[in-house]
Amino acid sequence: MHQWTMVQMTCMTTKKKFDVENPTVVVLANGRYAYRCECPWPGKNGKVLHAFKFCSADAFKKFTAGVEDKDVVDISGDKDVVDLTERAIEDAA
C-alpha cells in the first residue's frame, strides 16, 4: 500500500508557502532529487508557477515504486529537469 507524504512547498516566485500531498519527485539537471508541483495561484498574465524542494534519493525510490509508466509525465522540455529515465532510477538504487 502506498503511503502519502505531506510536504510544505515554497513558490519559487512569490515565496508563499503551501502544503502538497504526495508531490511528484524529479531529477534535476544537477543530478539532485526534488519535489515539484504547480503553485495553487497563477503568476502574472496567467503564467503557471512551480515550486521545488530538495528531497532524498529514498523519496525518489518510493515515488517511482508507486508510479506506473502511464502516470509518468514527460518533462524533457523543461530546461531545469531531466527525464525520469531508467538510468535515473538505477542511480537511485
Report the mean per-residue pLDDT for the chain: 75
Task: Give the whole-angstrom CA distance, residue 61 versus residue 93.
Answer: 7
Q: Residue 89 has what pLDDT?
A: 46
49 within 8 A of 42, measured Cβ to Cβ: yes
Residue 20 has pLDDT above 80, yes or no: yes
Residue 48 C-beta-side C-alpha neighbours within 13 Å: 4
Residue (of 39, 7, 25) closest to 82 by Cα position:
25
Q: Residue 75 has what pLDDT?
A: 52
Residue 5 has pLDDT above 90, yes or no: no
Q: Residue 64 has what pLDDT?
A: 81
Q: Residue 60 has what pLDDT?
A: 84
Domain borders along the chain are 6-92
The secondary structure of residue 14, as a DSSP letter, is T
Q: What is the pLDDT of residues 49-83, one digit of tens each?
A: 999 999 998 888 888 887 654 444 545 455 444 44
